Each structure stands twice: as structure tokens, then as C-alpha cells.
Structure 1
Amino acid sequence: MCEVVNQAVQQAVSRRRLLGGAGAAALATGVTAAAGSAAASPAPPASPAPGKGPGGDADARRYRSWLTLLGTSGGPVWWPGSEREGIGSAVVVDGDVYLVDFGDGSGKRFKQAALVPPEMRTPGGFWGEEMIRAMFLTHLHSDHVADYFDYFMLGWTNGLRSRPSQQPIQVFGPGRRIDEHGNVVMEPIFTKPGESTPDIRVENPNNPVPGTVDMTNSLYQAFALDINDRMRDNRYPDLREIFAINDIAIPDGIGYHPNDNHTPQGMEPFEVYRDDKVRVTATLVDHFPLVPAFAFRFDTDDGSVVFSGDTGPSRNLVTLARGADILVHEVITQQWVDVLMPPPLTPTEEALRNHLLSAHTLPEDAGRIAEQAGVGTLAFSHIVPGNAPDEHLNGARKHFSGRLVIGRDLMEFGIGKRGR
């Protein structure tokens, strides 16, 4: 989720401080909770056991392929009164596991989900890492990568050392923020109306816009003490031989430039990964200024699942999701935005509000996208705020004639026809 969420919260806090006194202090302290609940609506119920959530499929694991929503919350915020963990999903195809995004707490949900049944686990396998074949990152915002390296460091003692396949786990994510000529392009500095561009320090100036390969190499270095100890004292295998990290190349000739306000629309999905069980295609979506940002589609012999990633309404996503069984789409509620920035809005607040909404999708717009794509099920995940009541999300039903599900952690869906 865009860092603009935090900016919006701070903007709302600053505005309310004008009220003065103890009451204003209390309101400022609780602005996140108020924005999430909009007049103290009840928080979502606690997360169910795998496959038991209302709206999901209780018998999902009787299908050869199924989807598990690991974490369903969005944003770099610990939402009060919410049982949702950070964004993360798993597609299971005939015992093999494919993961999408790694938000805070999603690793814990992966452990709780126990995706691999006991009879299929190898000795010492606890999480299911032994059956992971590939991992995918839609983009590199903190709320999508917080638990990413847990699968490396904790996976060592949870199945990675006893994987039946000796093939590396393939990891795919965005590359550096560069133009078509390979030049680094920093994102523009967000400024308020009438404000001159401030001088902001650049972190890691030698590589200020790292991609997935860069990020992973830096994490190896950051944890060098632990890695070297485990390899020398415990004789653990080299993590670099277990994982193969790949930056996703953006197709040539589509008119892409990092600092365009919108990604090129009308592009055809392109293949990212393929094995004997799944084909994964991708497209660029609108999460400006964080680019590149991808949506992914998983096609199996049983059916198809699409993940929107973080995006505003996108024609590219409609093309990618055409005819899919399930579309897992991010969502932000109008009520939360209105509580943060109630009218009348100053020009600064109006700019911040528009910036926030252009990078994310309202429920009604997600419903339109799902209807245009002709998907069977629309499942909301990466829900902002994470404690949003269902009534703030049901607006999608006005425009979508299929099955709408408000995602909760560990909810599961069968893909295609039942039968293992």
C-alpha cells in the first residue's frame, strides 16, 4: 500500500489538533481506529480455521487445485480491532504451492494454513516449504514484503532442507525502477499545491530503486552473521542454491516509462513462469508512483485465479482476468477516506485524497472490473482499512452479478471441479 496512507493519517491528525484540548488529543490518538470503523462499526470476526470462513468453500481441499487467502489486510498499518494479517495468498495445485505477496503476519498464516497434508510432508517439514515451487511479488512496498525473507531464514528449519525436489524455488518480482534505456528514474517528490520541491535525502544513492534481485542480495548481506553461522556450525545448505531470484522484464515497445502518471493501457498479458502444473502471466497495473507493479494470473488444468496487486481501476487487469474463475482484488473504502479527510477539503487535502484513491480501488469499481472481465468469483483482499465492516465493502454488488466474497484470513476456494 502506498506510503500516502500514513501521510493521510498524519494529515487528519494535524487537522484535528486545531480543535485543541484533551478531546482533540484523544481524537488524534484514535484517528486510525475511527477511520477504520467509521462511527464504531463492529470489527470483523476472528479468522476461521482453514476453509471454514463464511463465503469460502468448506470443502476446498477436496479440489485438486485451491486458493488460500493467507492474510487479507492492506497498508503499512497495524489496524486496531482487526484479526486480519498482512496481504498474502497461496495457490495449491496437486500438492505444489505457489505464493503471492508476503505482508506482515502472512507467514504465520502460512504456518496455520498447513497447506501440505501430513501424509505428504517430508520428515522435518512443518510449514509446507518443502512443497513450494515458486513465489511472486506484485510490487515491493513494505506491506507486501515484510515476511518475504522469513521463508528463507525460518524455512531452513521448516522443510527447506528436506525438500523432495532439488530444483530451486523460483522467485519472481519487479526489477529496478528504470526506463526503456536502463536508466534509473527516481519517482517525483509529492508536493502540496503551491509548495516548492523540498530537498529530500536519497537512501542508498548508488542503487536507490532496487528490484527483487537487489533486495534479496541485500537481505543476504544483512543476515550474513546468522547465515554464516548456520552454514558453518549447523551445516545448513546454501540458501542461494535453494532459491533462484528473478526480476520480471517489462515487455519492449509498450510505451512504458516509470514517471508516466499511468501505466500503458491495452497491453497484452505476458508469460512470467511455467511448469508442468501452472502457467503464470502478468500485466502492469496502476499503483503510481510505485512502479513497476504487477497483477498475476495463474492458469491450471482445473481453472484460473487472478491477483490484482495494488492498483487503481485498470483496463490491463480486465484483460488479464477475462473469464477467470476467481479474481482476488484489493479494495479501499470510501468511508475511511471520508473520515480521514472530511469536507470541506483544502487544496492540499484534495490532492492527497485524489492521490490516495487513484492508486487503489473502491468496492464499486472493483465490481465493475469483475463484471467486465466476466469472472465467476470476486474475492476482496488487501482490504483498507483492515478493520472495515462488510457493509462498507458490499457496494461491489451493485455492479457485479457473480459471487462476491469479503476475504478473511485462511479463507479457501476450490478451483474448477471437485476431486483430488
Structure 2
Amino acid sequence: MAVVALAFAALFALQKPIGTWLFQRAMEQNTARDTFAGLEDGLHVGLCGTGSPMANLDRAGPCNFVVAGKLMFVVDIGEGGSRNLNLMGINPGQLDGVLLTHFHSDHIDGMGPLMLNHWVRGTNTAPLPVYGPSGVEAIVDGFNAAYATDDTYRTAHHGEDVAPSSGGGAQALPFEMSEDSPMVFERDGLKVTAFKVPHDPVDPAVGYRFDYKGRSICISGDTKKSANLESVCRGANLIVHEALQMEMVSDMQDILSANGNDSAAKIMLDIRDYHASPQDAAESAQAAGAQMLVLSHLVPPLPNAYLYPAFLGDAPDRFDGKLVVGEDGMLFSLPSSGDTIEQRELM
């Protein structure tokens, strides 16, 4: 017993030097981490945010990053998404752009930190490119206006070598939607196609398909069950699809109503008519012939994996491939040299 007491006393006495050493070791490891550089040639999709506007400590707002060869994009940037990119070893300074699916606040409210990190972590001399359907100009203009004063502080403090005055903010790159799904980006073997999804009254609302060296990924954005998604994503290897568990949200509505919170109860009623259930997503992935379905933008919040079977319901019976409930930090890799999909954790 005396030996244990002495050991604890020694640890306490050495807390400062041990803490300093631990901090230095962590900094050495984290600052040298570069997930992007270590990825083999192929398509990769990482989940930097799998949550929704509902509070969830373990999930940032909607955020995905896609790597194709030497190109890297973020699809939607919800609150906390930029933080998770950094925690996953992804340097926002290396981004080639952002693709927005629509302009709901939870899909854009992480834009400010991402613009800042793109600028100063990459010493970029040009603003962050932001692709989106028509209307993206107003979104980007608003963020640029909100951060314009801060940009001047950064350059004045750190200088042009670190924070070039030409590199702050973002640049809107709008595209027009039509009955056909437009190709919004094509370079170095990567093709990015936008497709309409039903999310009324939100209009425009799109998803994206990425094709690179025979591998393909689709990201749904926010949508009801969509025949157009099933058509455009036919043959995709992996689909990242939003999911709202209707029965759970209905239970939330009843409880909120019983507690006299009628406004919140009305929201729980309304959101069920413009989102897809896990079962809907599974049926769409089956119709598209996907190998893997990853559920994201999860509603309601799921504090632990014990709730996953209740969330999924009978969705696993409606899809023949692998079904994954997405979590922040997951990375899915589709090497160009084969037909496998590899999964690992970056957080």
C-alpha cells in the first residue's frame, strides 16, 4: 500500500514535466499527420460530419470529403466539419473546392472556419472555390461579408507570406440544373455530376456522383426517396445517403406535444415529409445496384451504437450489400486497382 502511495505521489510531483513531454509528443505526431498524402490511387470518401441540426456530442453537422487521385473536395460543411477534417488528418489548405447540395443552414454553417483553414493552412493566394446550384452566389457573398473584417486582421498580424490578402474568403462557382444531370467538374480523370433530388420546399437541392478510374461514389444530400438518385447512381460502388427514422421522430413528436412544446412537435411532424427513412435508402441502394450503403445525416441523434438496430428497422432486409450506420471519422477507400471497399477510422 505504501508503494502505491509513493508511486501516486511521484506522478503528482512530476505532473508538470510529464505533461509537457506528453504534449510535445502529441504535437509531433499530429502536426506530421497527412492522411491525404498516404491514400493510394482511387476514390475515397470520409465522413467529417454525420449529424443534423439536432444536438449530438459525437456528430458534427453534415460533412463529407472525397479524394480522387490528387484532387480533394468537401461536400457540404456543417458546424464542426472543419474541426473534424483537422482531427482526421486532412489539411483544408489542400482542398480543391467545396460542393454544396443545398442551402439549409446545417449544410453551410461550418463555412467560415473552413474558409479560414483553407486560406492560412495552405497559404493560398486565391479564395476557396465553392460549387453549387444557382443561388450559391448569395451564400458565398454573405460569408465573405461576415469574415471580411477578420481577414484584414489575419493579414495585418501574420503578414502576406502566411495570410496573403488575395486568398481569404470563397469564390462562388454556380451551375445550372436542367432535366439532364450536368457535369460540374472534370479534370485528371475525375468526373463530378450533379443530380436533382426532391427536398421541397427547398429548391434547388442536389446530390453528387463522383466517377474516377472505374470506381464511383454517390452522395445524396437531403432528399426524400428519389427515383432520380436511383437512376443517376446506377452502378455506383458506394452511396452515402441521408436517413431519418420515422417511428423514432414520431415518438419525439408525441413526447414534445405531451410536454406542451407544440412548436418543436410541429417541426418533428414537418421534417418527416422531406427526408428518407433507412428503409427508403436501402431500397434506393438496392435499385441502384450499389455494393455498399452508408447512412449519414442521422435523425434523431444516436448517442451510442446500441440504438442502431432500432434506427435501421428492417432496412438490412431491403439491401443485399453492406449497410453501415455512418460515424464521424470513418473513411471508405475504393482503390482504382480492384473492386474492394476498405473501411477504417481516422478519429
Normalised by the size of structure 2, how large is the TM-score? 0.75
Cα drift, residue 150 of structure 1 = 1.4
Q: Match of 1:412, as an amino acid?
A: L
User: Partners in 1 of 2:89 and 2:166 — Cα distance?
Assistant: 23
If each structure's strand is expressed as a fraction of its own residues, which one has the higher value?
2
1:245 maps to what in 2? 172
Give unpaired runs (5+ residues) of structure 2.
1-37, 339-347
Q: Match of 2:137, as an amino acid?
A: V
> Relative contact order: is structure 1 or structure 2 higher (C-alpha 8 Å, sep ≥ 6)?
1
CA contact (8 A) 2:243 2:298 kept: yes
CA contact (8 A) 2:302 2:308 kept: no
2:58 maps to what in 1? 83
User: Partners in 2 of 1:226 and 1:349 — Cα distance?
Assistant: 35
- Residue correspondence of structure 1 range 222-371 to structure 2 within 5 A: 222-232=146-156, 234-235=159-160, 236-239=163-166, 243-251=170-178, 267-342=179-254, 355-371=270-286
Q: Match of 2:70, as an amino acid?
A: G
Residue aligned with 1:158, SS: helix
Cα drift, residue 168 of structure 1 = 6.4
CA contact (8 A) 2:101 2:205 kept: yes
Q: Output one character per residue of 1:185-243: Cα deviation in whole Å (capped at 9) or x when no partner.
A: xxxxxxxxxxxxxxxxxxxxxxxxxx221121222222222222334552232456884
CA contact (8 A) 1:172 1:212 kept: yes
Q: Match of 1:275, as an amino acid?
A: R
1:104 maps to what in 2? 79
Q: Output one character per residue of 1:9-60: Cα deviation in whole Å (capped at 9) or x when no partner.
A: xxxxxxxxxxxxxxxxxxxxxxxxxxxxxxxxxxxxxxxxxxxxxxxxxxx9
Change (3 A) 1:224 1:243: closer
Change (3 A) 1:349 1:70: closer
2:109 maps to what in 1? 146
If each structure's helix is expressed as a fraction of its own residues, which one has the higher value?
2
Cα drift, residue 372 of structure 1 = 0.6
User: Partners in 2 of 1:159 and 1:100 — Cα distance?
Assistant: 19
Residue aligned with 1:272, SS: strand
Residue aligned with 2:96, SS: strand
CA contact (8 A) 1:138 1:294 kept: yes
Q: Match of 1:64, as an amino acid?
A: G
User: Partners in 1 of 2:200 and 2:123 — Cα distance?
Assistant: 36
1:407 and 2:334 are equivalent in the alignment: no
Cα drift, residue 284 of structure 1 = 1.2
Q: Output one character per residue of 1:366-420: Cα deviation in whole Å (capped at 9) or x when no partner.
A: 111111111111000111123262112333212111111111111111114458x
2:11 maps to what in 1? none
1:217 and 2:136 are equivalent in the alignment: no
Q: Output one character per residue of 1:141-174: Cα deviation in whole Å (capped at 9) or x when no partner.
A: 111111112122233321143xxxx786532113
1:381 and 2:344 are equivalent in the alignment: no
Change (3 A) 1:222 1:372: same
2:132 maps to what in 1? 173
Change (3 A) 1:95 1:114: farther
Residue aligned with 1:366, SS: helix
Q: Output one character per residue of 1:266-296: Cα deviation in whole Å (capped at 9) or x when no partner.
A: x432211111131111111111111111111
User: Partners in 2 of 1:270 and 1:155 — Cα distance?
Assistant: 27
1:393 and 2:311 are equivalent in the alignment: yes
2:46 maps to what in 1? 68
Q: Match of 2:45, as an amino acid?
A: L
User: Partners in 1 of 2:166 and 2:189 — Cα distance?
Assistant: 25
Q: Match of 1:390, as an amino acid?
A: Y
2:26 maps to what in 1? none
Normalised by the size of structure 1, how large is the TM-score? 0.63
Identity value in percent: 28
Residue aligned with 1:100, SS: strand
CA contact (8 A) 1:140 1:174 kept: no
CA contact (8 A) 2:191 2:212 kept: yes
Q: Match of 1:306, as an amino acid?
A: C
CA contact (8 A) 1:114 1:128 kept: no
Q: Match of 2:242, as an amino acid?
A: E
Change (3 A) 1:96 1:349: closer
1:133 maps to what in 2? 96
Change (3 A) 1:134 1:225: closer
2:344 maps to what in 1? none
CA contact (8 A) 1:268 1:319 kept: no
User: Partners in 1 of 2:78 and 2:266 — Cα distance?
Assistant: 28
Residue aligned with 1:355, SS: helix
Cα drift, residue 342 of structure 1 = 3.5
Q: Match of 2:309, as an amino acid?
A: E
Q: Match of 2:43, as an amino acid?
A: S
User: Partners in 1 of 2:169 and 2:76 — Cα distance?
Assistant: 19
User: Partners in 2 of 1:399 and 1:102 — Cα distance?
Assistant: 30
Q: Output one character per residue of 1:237-256: Cα deviation in whole Å (capped at 9) or x when no partner.
A: 245688432122122xxxxx
Cα drift, residue 337 of structure 1 = 1.4
User: Partners in 1 of 2:264 and 2:60 — Cα distance?
Assistant: 29
Q: Match of 1:141, as an amino acid?
A: H
Change (3 A) 1:238 1:217: farther
Cα drift, residue 302 of structure 1 = 4.2
Residue aligned with 1:67, SS: strand
